[in-house]
Amino acid sequence: MAGKVAVLGAGAWGTALAKVLADKGDPVAMYCRRPDLVDQINREHVNGRYLPSAKLPATLTATVDPEEALDRASMVVFVAPSHATREVARLVARKVPTDSPIVSATKGIENDSLTFIDEILAAELPGATHRHFSFLSGPSFAKELAAELPTGVVIASTETRVREHVMNRFHTSYMRTYASKDIPGVECGGAIKNVIAIAAGAADGLGFGHNTRAMLITRGLSEMVKLSLARGGEAITLAGLAGMGDLVLTCTGELSRNRTVGLELGKGRKLNDILTGLGHVAEGVKTAKSAYDLSRRLGIELPIISETYRVLYEDKPVLTAVKDLMGRELTAEFESMGAIRTV
């Protein structure tokens, strides 16, 4: 037993990770905004709104008071949606113990500021530096992890001691943890795969086949690599769990919320109606805008992300986006090959 953990966010993913940590024997206090849900978690040991299938250990408790969750916490896990991360960080800024490891399991890029989670936490938590941070990512549906189906994730941190500590705390008989030093790469993978999953879902909704899905996954990987390299990440990271692994899961798995958004768009439903009925966050919707804005700021071409952005934000018909993607000027598969010559 390594000591109490504070989990800030009580959605599907926060609850699944809190269960992993409690299964390891650590007491876990989860910060949850809704008093009715706090009550249900503490009395019935179930999160009926976000992860009803999981029976939670009695050592996992919930509280509406973030200070209570953080009191004497030996590790802090941020796992609210990306658009709420800054708000949560500001709320707890003075209470987060600066000598405890801080883990983020959120996947996304903030709108407008175009910042990733590491930049938000570094800006909002006084005294905390990248030395304290770890980023947990990889192919991991909350429902499957909560059912204790074998799962692998990556833990990225620049500090060996912090990385190994966090890897050990999350490692259970049903979840393996792998090490990475590449924070930008791991963050890019987790954020961008959600946008590509919307595109892959849309292709399925239009009735396209496996060829289309495989092309989207592979060319999506290429866009992910480009953005990651521009942020100082390493291409090889995206061949791993946080990149290709999560792309495959999210672009093919029926449990994916992002793929579901795309699927319904492909069938012709309106975005607002889809999001209203979803009941959970689909990070790819906001991340499509951030990634599109980033591509323009950095001067890099990200065609699938750009077309997904246009479908989501400019009402572009999905079929027109497909036509435009397929009709683009021919290019080399890898940019290092240089430009294509017309023969």
Ligand X SMILES: NC(=O)C1=CN([C@@H]2O[C@H](COP(=O)(O)OP(=O)(O)OC[C@H]3O[C@@H](n4cnc5c(N)ncnc54)[C@H](O)[C@@H]3O)[C@@H](O)[C@H]2O)C=CC1
Ligand Y SMILES: O=C(CO)COP(=O)(O)O
Radius of gyration of the chain (CA): 20
CA 57 to chain centre: 25
Closest to ligand X by CB, 12 or 21: 12
Q: Is 69 among the residues that bind ligand X (CB under 6 A)?
A: no
Residues 39-58 binding ligand X (CB under 6 A) are 50
275-298 burial: b if 16+ Cβ within 10 Å, else e? beeeeebbbbbbbbbbbbebbeee
Considering only residues 120 through 159, tell me which ones interact with ligand X, judged by CB under 6 A.
Answer: 140-142
14 makes contact with ligand X (CB under 6 A): yes
* Interface residue list for ligand Y (CB under 6 A): 107, 139-141, 194, 197, 246, 249-250, 256-259, 283
Q: Which of 223, 202, 227, 222 is nearest to 213 (CA)?
A: 202
* Binding letters toward ligand X, positions 176-195, x by CB under 6 A: --------------------
DSSP letter assigned to residue 3: -
Give the one entry of ligand X, ligand Y, none that residue 9 binds, where binding means its C-beta sits below a cut-off of 5 to 8 angstroms depending on kind.
Answer: ligand X
Which amino acid appears at position 129 of this protein?
A: T
> Of the two residues 29 and 263, which places its CB atom closer to ligand Y in the complex?
263
Instruction: Answer yes or no: 226 catalytic.
Output: no
Q: Which amino acid is at 5?
A: V
Binding mask 262-281 for ligand X (x = CB under 6 A): ------------------xx
256 belongs to an annotated ligand binding site: yes
Contact with ligand X (CB under 6 A) among 10, 195, 244, 318: 10
CA angle 256, 55, 25 (to 5 degrees): 105
End-to-end CA distance of the chain: 67
- The continuous run of DSSP H or E covering 8 comes out as strand 5-8
* 341: number of Cβ within 10 Å: 5
On whether 34 is known to bind a ligand per the annotation, the reply is yes
Known binding-site positions for NAD(+): 9-14, 142, 257
Residues at the site binding ligand X, with contacts judged by CB under 6 A: 9-14, 33, 50, 79-82, 84, 87-88, 105-108, 140-142, 280-281, 283
Name the residues annotated as catalytic.
193
